[in-house]
Amino acid sequence: MSLLKVDGLVASHGLLTAVRNVSFEVARGEVLGVIGANGAGKTTLFRTVAGVHPAHSGTISLEGVDITSLSPARRVARGVAMVPEGRRLFIDMTVRENLQIAGENGRSGVWTLDSVVTALPTLAPLLNVPAGGLSGGQRQTVAIGRALMSNPKVLLLDEVSLGLSPVAIAGLYDQLASLKARGDTAMVVVEQDLDRAMAFSDRVVCMLEGCIALEGAPQTLGKQAITEAYFGLAHQEAAYA
């Protein structure tokens, strides 16, 4: 049985239907990469799965239980955590305080302050530093650590590398690789960098105009097919055929 299942999901952003009949499944320990150009519906999809955006129709299930109508807080309590675009840390609080407040509002489990710092060792020297004084890469690492403190079964990471330097991105993905190797948490990752997405993900879905245009293992699909789906080239060719 899949850990997370999204079936026929439809969601709007204002007057625009941003997510159109989207369906996918993610297994425990699996990484699903979600790619697509700006405006493809990726962030609305993530916000809907996390519960901060309402679903118009369709279902979201966690371990076979329908969570579509649950509030964001209740989804966190069930095991769904999101690292949002822009990190959204409490900038006047220290790193330690940002992590602890997440732990107080999440599930009990293996992730504690000590285990998160062990898994994300770059946090250790930052624990007493106000979050507002951190670099972009450091903030992203704190945001991931904060999500882990809730002991998620499913970790949603929106725009992982957005605005980060190449060195920060490489370091961040090294730490994500160590989380992936544990095999106990499903990750759904929005990533603009196609090479990164293909290298890190077990499967990818490419969104186009709110729909899934392509889905499969990166090695099977190949970069050309993924690139064409990303930019809608195959869609354009079909329209003019």
**What pLDDT, in 10s, does the model give residues 181-223?**
999 899 999 988 889 999 999 999 999 999 999 999 999 999 9
Q: Is residue 44 part of a domain?
A: yes
Q: Is residue 117 part of a domain?
A: no
Q: Is residue 119 part of a domain?
A: no
How far, in Å, CA of 224 to CA of 212, rounded? 17
Q: Is residue 235 part of a domain?
A: yes
Q: Is residue 228 part of a domain?
A: yes
Segments of the chain with pLDDT less than 70: 1, 86-87, 233-241
What domain range includes position 76? 4-87+154-240
Q: Is residue 113 part of a domain?
A: no
Whole-model pTM over 0.85 = yes
Number of C-beta neighbours around residue 2 at 10 A: 16
What total of structural domains would you count in the chain?
Answer: 1
Q: Is residue 148 part of a domain?
A: no
CATH code of the domain covering residue 160: 3.40.50.300
